[in-house]
Amino acid sequence: MDTIVMCGYSVHRQYTSQGEQGRFYAFRLQSHGMCNARLNGESFQLKKGHLLMLVPGDRLAIHKPFNAADASDTSGDYYLLCQGEWIAAWFRTLAGRRHLEIPAGEPLLDLWKLIIRETRRLPDAADGAYQEALLHAFCLSVQQLLHREHNSPSEFVVSRMKRYIEEHAFEKLRVAEVAAAASLSESRALHLFREVTGQSIVDYLTEVRLSAAIDQLKYTNATLEEIAESTGFGTYTYFHRVFKRKIGEAPGGYRRKYRAEEEAL
């Protein structure tokens, strides 16, 4: 059986670690901050979203210098150690690949947090099989990200931008922030997004907001002004104008029509 040896989260203001990876396979994700790393002779900087995938025998050194002037200057990471025949075979498919950048908002982190919670629970007879299934799902999720990055780097980057937009759609969101989330210049982000999706970043943002607004019109009793505010449109006047242009009718009319159809069923 494949097993999770250890899984958790750590934060450091100062940290130094070096040595050879033991007999376990490991994942390490930089959650925030930065630190210096050296893996099998290659030096680089670990930044937010950087995932390391380690096998027995890898040599890893990590250093987070202490910043006495800034108490908020910390480095955080999620870690997972595991072992088993299926795990060993899965790591062999990486063919020496040790790095992956995880796009903002990827559900992989939610799965990681679930594994942490489950490994901290008191064990029972079913825990072994359940944790093994979670571990396999985790590895397959990483594999899917590797596949997306390899087959279409542009689509992979755009997926990061789309995820960021979805997470921040109901806030005051600027194109520059979306571009920064994908480590691109604003002009490059605008061009790449349209090239891959066929629409602009602003159009996609509007689409996400309208989808949320439609759900609220259908399934809640929130006022039109409240819906405009909560879905990122701000004023009802602007919400009304965009909704009518995109949907073909006013929000209030859309709600009345939907509810009349529901009552007729």
Q: What is the pLDDT along the chain (265 residues), one digit of tens a residue?
A: 899 999 999 999 998 998 888 899 999 999 989 999 999 999 999 988 899 999 999 999 999 999 888 888 899 999 999 999 999 999 999 999 999 988 766 789 899 999 999 988 866 655 788 999 999 999 999 998 888 777 777 887 898 899 889 889 999 999 999 999 888 999 999 999 999 999 999 999 999 999 999 999 999 999 999 999 999 999 999 999 999 999 999 999 999 999 998 888 7
Q: What is the pLDDT of residue 125?
A: 54
Domain count, the chain: 3
| CA pair distance 41, 96, nearest whole angstrom | 14
Exposure of 129 by Cβ count < 10 A (0-12 exposed, 13-18 middle, 19+ buried)?
exposed
Q: What is the pLDDT of residue 105?
A: 66
Same domain, 18 and 139: yes
Q: The tokens of 194 are what?
A: 């349209």
Same domain, 172 and 145: no
Q: What is the CATH number of the domain that holds 216?
A: 1.10.10.60
Question: Cα–chain-centroid distance for residue 204?
Answer: 18
Q: What is the pLDDT of residue 101?
A: 85
Contact call for residues 178 and 189 (beta carbons, < 8 A): yes
Q: What is the pLDDT of residue 61?
A: 95
Contact call for residues 227 and 252 (beta carbons, < 8 A): no
Same domain, 259 and 211: yes
- pTM, entire model: 0.65
Contact call for residues 149 and 106 (beta carbons, < 8 A): no
Q: Which residues face 20 on adjacent strands?
A: 59
Q: What is the CATH number of the domain that holds 53?
A: 2.60.120.280
Contact call for residues 161 and 183 (beta carbons, < 8 A): no
Q: Which domain holds residue 185?
A: 154-198
Same domain, 249 and 225: yes
| CA pair distance 74, 69, nearest whole angstrom | 12
Same domain, 116 and 34: yes
Question: Cα–chain-centroid distance for residue 232?
Answer: 21
Going by the DSSP 8-state scheme, the letter that residue 43 receives in this structure is E
Contact call for residues 114 and 41 (beta carbons, < 8 A): no
Q: Which run of H or of E encompasses 31?
A: strand 25-32
Same domain, 143 and 46: yes
Counted residue by residue, the chain has a size of 265
